[in-house]
Amino acid sequence: MLGIVYTEFMDMVKDRFSEEVLDDLLDAPGLSTEGAFTSVGYYTHTDMIKLVVTLSQVTDIPVDTLVEVFGEHLFGVLISKYPTLAEGKSNTIEMLESVDGTIHIEVMKLYPNAELPSFTCQRLGENHLLMQYRSKRPFSLLALGLIKGCAKYYGETLEISHESFDTESMFETHFDIRNLS
């Protein structure tokens, strides 16, 4: 995973909880980096899982909730750092349709070794999108949080249902997204 994901997670933990909680997380046993992460590095996704599980234990907030909240936070941070990603997109559905064809291409320019999930979209109507998430890593709830963060950015209300079809080697989730705004 991209280092920026780790550093933004750490910033969220520090801001929403405390620096002490962050220190506890970074002292968690079994981290491949022993708690040292930089925004330009690449790290195993299992370290993120360990960090989120530890945060859940410390805060008594379910892992799934933490991952989703982090996705919302991450979208806000990324769009503020890279506002050009939203250029020419007037709503959430247009933004989501551009993930693989535009946004991930830009990410690969910045981080050529990134292993990104894939998103395929099927527009069923002006305000209705089916989006398929596929990844080697189990972060569909991070994607859900990113989708919610996108809707928040555009000031829109979404109805989202999702269903996962995970195997040993691939995680797949289908999102049915309706813009109610």
Neighbour-count burial of 54, counting CB atoms closer than 10 A to its CB (0-12 exposed, 13-18 middle, 19+ buried)? buried
57 and 95 in a common domain: no
Q: With DSSP H G I counted as helix, E B as strand and the rest as coil, what are the percentages for the chain, rounded to 5? A: 50, 20, 30
In a domain, 13, yes or no: yes
CA distance 61 to 109: 36
CA distance 129 to 115: 24
173 and 92 in a common domain: yes
51 and 12 in a common domain: yes
Domain total for the chain? 2
57 and 96 in a common domain: no
> What's the confidence (pLDDT) of residue 16?
95
> What's the confidence (pLDDT) of residue 90?
94
Domain end call among 25, 45, 61? 61
> What's the confidence (pLDDT) of residue 106?
78
> What's the confidence (pLDDT) of residue 113?
79
> What's the confidence (pLDDT) of residue 30?
86
Strand, helix or coil for residue 159: strand
Q: In Å, what is the CA distance from 29 to each residue of 33, 82, 171?
A: 10, 34, 26
Q: In Å, what is the CA distance from 133 to each residue of 52, 54, 83?
A: 21, 26, 23
Q: Give mean pLDDT in consecutive 10-residue pieces for the chain, a chain of 181 residues.
A: 89 95 89 86 89 95 96 94 89 92 80 85 95 93 96 97 89 96 88
Where b means 16+ CB within 10 Å and e means fewer, 67-84 reads: bbbbbbbbbbbbbeeeee
171 and 98 in a common domain: yes
The edge-to-edge listing of strands for the beta sheet with 118-125 is: 118-125, 128-135, 171-179, 158-164
In a domain, 35, yes or no: yes
Neighbour-count burial of 88, counting CB atoms closer than 10 A to its CB (0-12 exposed, 13-18 middle, 19+ buried)? exposed
> What's the confidence (pLDDT) of residue 82?
86
What residue numbers bound the domain in which 97 lies? Answer: 88-179
